[in-house]
Structure 1
Amino acid sequence: MKKYDVDERGYYGKFGGAYIPEMLYPNVEELRSNYLSIIESQDFKDEFDHLLRTYVGRPTPLYYAQRLSEKYRTKIYLKREDLCHTGAHKVNNTIGQILLAKRLGKNKIIAETGAGQHGVATATVCALMGMECVVYMGEIDMGRQKPNVERMKILGAQVVPATSGSKTLKDATNEAMRHWINNPNDTHYIIGSVVGPHPYPDMVARFQSIISVEMQKQLQEVEGRNTPDHVIACVGGGSNAAGAFYQFLEDESVNLIAAEAAGLGVQSGKSAATTALGKSGVLHGSKTILMQTEDGQVIEPYSISAGLDYPGIGPIHAHLFDAGRAEFFGITDEEAMLAGVDLSKLEGIIPAIESSHALAVFNKRVFNPEEVVIVNLSGRGDKDLETYIKWGKY
């Protein structure tokens, strides 16, 4: 039995499952009973691989960051998910899920988005497949990620603002789930991260696992070995991290490092550092670790990064934290922004602010000179230029 894989009930250790209202049960059960047979079929694999190669632009490069390596005195490779079509890893999952939706006979797609990258990736594949697309996005996120909102509209999606609560990712997810309850027969909900009721966390992790599959092959070519010493990724819900960690979960010689958004400081009251502040509870259909008050009300998260201000983490990451399999670091806004500008000036790559949180780990932890460290560079910084400009310290 694998220690870090999902079990037949949809649990990673004590986290996961499907905690859903009765009205959602038929939708989730249809997915659960069909997803494995569909995605493991040869015709699905062939179409998925073909689109990843010819449409997404995979494999993405594994780039040796020489100047960054010299600065931190270790061997740093960047897995360039920022070079995927649409500018982030999100499209790996949306391609997989829309192919699944087609085989389930669905012709309408809904999604939630925070930073807008998942929304853009969903709108993109809906345009590709000629499907109707509705994306829910927090009103605040729509303001700070305006270019992505316009990209979704150009691609033909309807973008619906979530105006309740904190008006961010959590609330967009709530609205999308309500929509799905009311439209179960013709609609598939493409969840963008390893969150939600089983089978979503497992399904999304499987689609994103292409990241670590490629890492292994590419590392073999450049280093003569197929495992790094460390893999670093940022974690909000955690789909890019799940993909980057996937092939190494059971190999404990590979150290897994997750960077969470500490916002203005872990204890500042303006943070999204879930593992430092959270406790076990149920969020969006699964048992996980989330930030909550004594009486179980969800605490509003905060991060300068629209993609990391989620009050929980995916159950796979909750299990990795609980089991001590992964190291978790809280990275403040300031630390992330400085790391993003640092990469820009040292390597000519402007990263998404989400990815900058992963890069900031090098200022928190010492690595040995002979160690091989892979950072999953999950997205490019185009969408964040306004935030970089407002911050201004470059």
Structure 2
Amino acid sequence: MQNILTKEINTTNLPDSNGRFGEFGGSYIPPQLQTVMDEVTKEYENIVQDPVFLEELSSLQRHYVGRPSPVYHAKRLSEAVGGAQIYLKREDLNHTGAHKINHCIGEVLLAKKMGKKKVIAETGAGQHGVALATAAALLGLECDIYMGEVDIKKEAPNVSRMKILGAQVIEVTRGTKTLKDAVDAAFEAYLEDPDTQIYCIGSVVGPHPFPMMVRDFQSVVGIEAKAQIQELAGRLPEAVVACVGGGSNAMGIFSAFLEDSEVTLYGVEPAGKGLDTPDHAATITKGSVGILHGFKSFLLQDESGEALPVYSIASGLDYPGVGPQHSYLKTIGRVNYDSATDHEAVEAFYGLSRMEGIIPALESSHAVAHAIKLAKTMKKDEIILVNLSGRGDKDIDYVLEHYPLVEYEPTGKGNGFEEFLSHIKKQ
């Protein structure tokens, strides 16, 4: 499989001093908040040069988070699908069950060194909220988590975890009652008191320096994965695949491969009930350039520039914007952005569970679904590396209630899952 790049790629030294990735990113916020952001930027740039901070972060990654997370060859899944070999970067094995803990530890360490008393954040699927509540408990800070009413009902186990960890979960009941509205509410709370608290954004979105900072803390995923796949397979993969909502897990793994032109990168957006319906959150695929939550990027918006309601089975992906670096990588042709429907994600959810004994998060299931489709078009000796960004504990009850397993059995309407089950029954 060839990677065809039609434009010269510039992925180094980004963002620039204004927080921009090409035309994307920047900081579109009130002057009061800009002063605070400038302070955060200065403190962040200082601490990443501080050997004491870096050693503390590294120690927590090793002894608390459980890094490095392994890369695993999904042999049975690869055999069942046919074509390329599928490898999984197991971020689901991190403490708290997802990649989110990577940047949360970093952000809370930064908050503590800045003398903040409280961290606040939004959450959709609850993984960022759990990770931030965990880091806050570890380092002794207060924690407020804003979460939409719809997501609170969908992700009840994570809500309970946040409360047990000592966080205050604040229900957001306006608008679509999902992730975008939770971000709005958290930003408003931050504006009320930017001095004693800090907003720990949960993805590579928001005003500068957050897209840069979250990417940098997540880059450990790509650094590890690149070394691990070379050790396991003796070379780089032909393809790297990750789901994209805001885009933190994808930027984390993509960052290590951006300069490797022989590696094709795939970002998988949520197609929901179909790209021909309004019920999706495929921002890059269907959106246009706009401004949301203090940064410029691709955005699903109406004619007046207001963010549209979005939908995904995966609460962590139903955001109408996307990280500015993803928008830049799309425009220069370095990353291919595709999508997977709810149905395809559920097939992958059940398929990976049955074939490998790994229950993935619904967010990660979008990446697995695309890898399954991609593998069938590739040679058997080629490699796909998937960032399995989270585990599916939080999604089990919701999936079984709304997408019962019987519908995905061989007598049902599943496309491709029949192959998995038939393969299992032959063993």
Please give the range of the TM-score, normalised by the shorter of the 2 chains.
over 0.9
- For these two proteins, the number of residue pairs brought into alignment is 393
Mapped partners of 2:175, 2:262: distance in 1: 42
Q: Cα offset for 1:40?
A: 2.5
Of residues 404, 417, 424, the one that matches 1:392 is 404
Which runs of 4 or more aligned residues in structure 1 lie more than 2 Å from their structure 2 counterparts after TM superposition? 362-365
Residue 152, structure 1, aligned to residue 162, structure 2: yes
For residue 224 of structure 1, report the CA deviation from its aligned partner.
Answer: 2.1
Match of 2:210 in 1: 200
Supply the distance in 2 between the matched residues of 1:96 and 1:143 (Cα, whole angstroms). 29
Q: Distance in 2 between matches of 1:72 and 1:237?
A: 31
What is the CA–CA distance in structure 1 between the aligned matches of 2:164 and 2:156, rounded to whole Å?
12
* CA deviation map 1:107-143 (0-9, x unaligned): 2110110000000000001110111110000111111
How far apart, in 2, do the equivalents of 1:368 and 1:171 lie? 44
Residues in 2 aligned to 1:201 and 1:72: alpha-carbon distance in whole angstroms: 37
Asked if the contact 1:72/1:362 (under 8 Å) is kept, the reply is: no
Provide structure 2 residue ranges, at least 5 long, that are not aligned to the other structure: 1-7, 409-427
- In structure 2, how many angstroms separate the alpha carbons of the residues matched to 1:103 and 1:360? 41
> Contact conserved, 1:260 with 1:273, CA < 8 A, in 2?
yes
Contact 2:226 2:257 in 1 (8 A): no
Q: 1:96 aligns with which of 97, 106, 109?
A: 106
SS in 2 for 1:102: helix
Cα shift at 1:363: 4.4
Distance in 2, matches of 1:2 and 1:204, equals 22
Distance in 1 between residues matched to 2:105 and 2:371, nearest whole Å: 33
| 8 Å CA contact 2:9, 2:332 repeated in 1 | no
Q: 2:350 aligns with which of 341, 345, 369?
A: 341
* Matched residue, 2:262: 253
Pick aligned residue for 1:179 from 189, 195, 201: 189
Amino acid corresponding to residue 206 of structure 2 in structure 1: G
Q: For the pair shown, which has the larger CA radius of gyration, 1 or 2?
A: 2
- Cα deviation digits, residues 165-220 of structure 1 (max 9, x gap): 11111111111111111111110111010000010000000000000110122122
Cα deviations across residues 23-66 of structure 1 (Å, max 9, x unaligned)? Answer: 31122111112212212311111000000000000000100110
Quick one: which amino acid aligns to residue 220 of structure 2?
A: I
Give the 5 Å matches for 1:260-275.
260-275=269-284
CA separation in 1, counterparts of 2:274 and 2:397?
22
Partner of 1:3: 10
Within 1, Cα distance between the matches of 2:320 and 2:144? 23
Name which of 75, 78, 83 aligns with 1:69: 78
Match of 2:244 in 1: 235
- Residue number in structure 2 paired with 1:224: 234
Distance 1:364 1:14 in 2: 33
How far the C-alpha of 1:322 sits from its partner, in A, is: 1.4
TM-score normalised to structure 2 length: 0.90
C-alpha distance in structure 1 between counterparts of 2:285 and 2:230, whole Å: 35
- In 1: Cα distance, 2:132 partner to 2:310 partner: 24
Give the C-alpha shift of residue 2 in structure 1: 7.5
1:308 is matched with which residue: 317, 321, 325? 317
Q: How many Å separate the matches in 2 of 1:76 and 1:364?
A: 11
Deviates more, 1:116-125 or 1:361-370: 361-370
Report percent identity of matched pairs: 52
- 2:174 pairs with 1:164: yes
Distance across 2 between alignment mates of 1:45 and 1:207: 11
Partner of 1:375: 386
Could you tell me which amino acid in structure 2 is paired with residue 280 of structure 1? V
